[in-house]
Structure 1
Amino acid sequence: MTRLTLYTTLGCHLCERLETLLAVLHRGEYRLERVEISDDTALMARYAVRIPVLADAAGDELDMGFEPPRLAAWLEARGRLDSSAWRRLQAGGLELEPEPSPAREREPLARRPAGRRYLG
């Protein structure tokens, strides 16, 4: 099983796109740990303008993984690209529908100023 880390923040639509692409293009099982960057000053300094950032267990990072060719190349380099799904996606034979993330929607509002989180 592949272990991956996604540096993200609440409401990041590019992060959601990356997660959707990952579900389609990753071959085999994976475990995705989501790290909320707005809870940590150091993470904000490192990732605020780069999210989503996907990292593998070795710490190798991928910026802009929401772009299918970038994610496909990154997964291929790790032997985890589902080549047939990638070909179907390139040919327009796959529709990408974002999967709902109920765990993120249940986050307590008390941790978010005025019910929202902002990077700025």
Structure 2
Amino acid sequence: MIRLRLYTTLGCHLCERQESLLALLLQSDYNLEKIEISDDEALIERYGVRIPVLADEAGEELDRGFEPPRLAAWLAERHWLDEAAWQRLNAGESEPREEERKPSGPRPAGRRYLL
């Protein structure tokens, strides 16, 4: 199983877009740990203007993974890219079909918004 971390905050529409793309483009099951940065000043300092930031188990990070070509290239480097899904996305399907969505877990509750 692929294990990933997503540095995010509540209400981040780019983070939601990246989650949607991950559900579409990853070729196998994965575990996405969402790290709420607003609870930690050090994380806000490091990631506040960069979220969403996706990290693999080795700690390699991807900024702007909500841009499909960047995410696809990052996944392909790790041999995790679902090539057929990437082809469909490039052919004009902008959102994952319902049967391709993978649950990513509950949203954190009680978090503050970053401004």
TM-score, normalised on structure 2?
0.88
User: Structure 2, unaligned stretches of length 5 or more?
Assistant: none
Q: What is the CA deviation profile of residues 27-51 of structure 1, one whole-angstrom value per residue up to 9, with x for unaligned ones? A: 1111000000000010000000000
TM-score normalised by length of structure 1 = 0.85
Give the 3-state SS of the residue equivalent to 2:88 in structure 1: helix
Q: Tell me, in whole angstroms, the C-alpha distance in 1 between the residues paired with 2:97 and 2:24.
A: 10
Q: Matched residue pairs, number?
A: 112
Code of the residue aligned with 1:104 in structure 2: it is R
Work out which of the two has the higher radius of gyration on C-alpha atoms and give 1 or 2.
Answer: 1
Specify whether residues 92 and 47 from structure 1 end up closer, same or farther in structure 2 by C-alpha distance, changes over 3 A only: same
Identity of matched residues, %? 65
Where do 5+ consecutive residues of structure 1 fail to align?
Answer: none
SS class of match (1:11) = coil
- Which structure is higher in RCO with an 8 Å CA cutoff and minimum separation 6? 2
CA RMSD of aligned residues (A): 2.2
Write the distance in 2 (CA, Å) between the matches of 1:51 and 1:93.
25
Shift of the 97–35 alpha-carbon distance from structure 1 to 2, 3 Å rule, reads farther
Q: What letter matches 2:67 in structure 1?
A: E
What is the CA deviation profile of residues 56-95 of structure 1, one whole-angstrom value per residue up to 9, with x for unaligned ones?
0000000000000000000000000000000010011453
